[in-house]
Structure 1
Amino acid sequence: MSTTVCIDEVQFSAIRAQGAGGQHVNKVSSAVHLRFDVRASSLPEPVKERLLALRDQRLTSEGVVVIKAQQYRSQDMNRADALARLQALVDSVAKAPVVRRPTKPTYGSKQRRLEGKNVRSAIKATRGKVGAD
């Protein structure tokens, strides 16, 4: 099983881009909406679970990744950009996170912490009013 996104599982739709660009951006559908259904994909199950667990605004509640690409003037370049961004998203969850092993603070680190607290306490102890005895 590979974590490469299969092009057959991706749906593209051409839309008009937003923003500046003049007459070209108003007439030509060069932007691309990419839709990728994570649950129906051929990705390995652990990768699907991590992808669906992401808190990403591009992921809908139905488990569909929606990416809008409108950076380039050409529809083909926007399609390639959207695919690259989808692959980067899948690659980011492809490797399982390393499980953290809890450790105890060392004796030296405890001593340094207490020494710092003593120094700070001594500084604050000298901040009283002058001649307050």
Structure 2
Amino acid sequence: MKFNEDLAIQELTFKAIRSSGSGGQHVNKVSSKVELSFNLVDSLAFTNIQKQRLQNKLKTKLTNDGVLILQCDESRSQHKNKALVIKRFLELIKASLVVPKKRIPTKTTKAAIKKRLKAKRTLSEKKASRKKPDID
């Protein structure tokens, strides 16, 4: 399913926060961590069907208000983190919109059934030949 990527990116809101964890003197004064939030309910980039599909697929990642929140603090640069979180967002949306193919059940071929039965028969004969003969 296609969606308007540019419109979706325009609807994103970003917030820069200080990264957690150890660091030097620099870490305490630089906000390099980027938090992306996307309101799925109010979005114009998706159709109602797509929104429903996204809500079903991403229900564990959405807040109660239908807002998707992603964070990135992999890089020391705020710009790289912003690019990474946008890329991650687009990948997540594209993966969630993929409609799986319907499975068509297939039958076992007659040749495969014959082959299986023949193998069973030969194994049975091999085991039967190991028995001691009945002397009556």
Q: Which residue of 2 aligns with 1:17?
A: 19
RMSD of aligned C-alpha atoms? 3.0
8 Å contact from structure 1 (residues 3, 91) kept in 2? no
**After superposition, where does 1:41-80 map in structure 2 within 5 Å?**
41-42=43-44, 43-54=46-57, 57-80=60-83
Residues 118 and 78 of structure 1: CA distance in aligned 2, closer, same or farther (over 3 Å)? farther
Query: Is 2:109 aligned against 1:106?
Result: yes
**Secondary structure of 1:62 counterpart:** coil
How far does residue 94 in structure 1 lie from its aligned partner after superposition? 3.1
**In structure 2, distance between residues paired with 1:65 and 1:122:** 64
Percent sequence identity is: 36
2: CA distance between counterparts of 1:75 and 1:22? 17
SS in 2 for 1:98: coil
Could you tell me how far 1:72 is from its partner in structure 2?
A: 1.3
Q: For 1:3-33, what per-residue CA distance to the aligned partner results, in whole angstroms no more than 9, with x for missing partners? A: 4152331111111112343332232111011
For the pair shown, the structure with the greater C-alpha radius of gyration is: 2
Cα distance per residue 1:44-70 (max 9 Å; x no partner): 233222211115643334322110011
Q: Distance in 2 between matches of 1:64 and 1:55?
A: 10
The residue matched to 2:57 in structure 1 has which SS?
A: coil
Consecutive unaligned residues of structure 2, counting only runs of 5 or more, are none
Aligned partner of 2:92 among 89, 110, 129: 89
Give the TM-score, by structure 1 length. 0.73
Q: Compute the TM-score of the two structures, normalised by the length of structure 2.
A: 0.72
Task: Give the deviation of 1:115 after TM superposition.
Answer: 4.8
Tell me the CA shift for residue 120 of structure 1.
6.8
Distance 1:122 1:39 in 2: 68
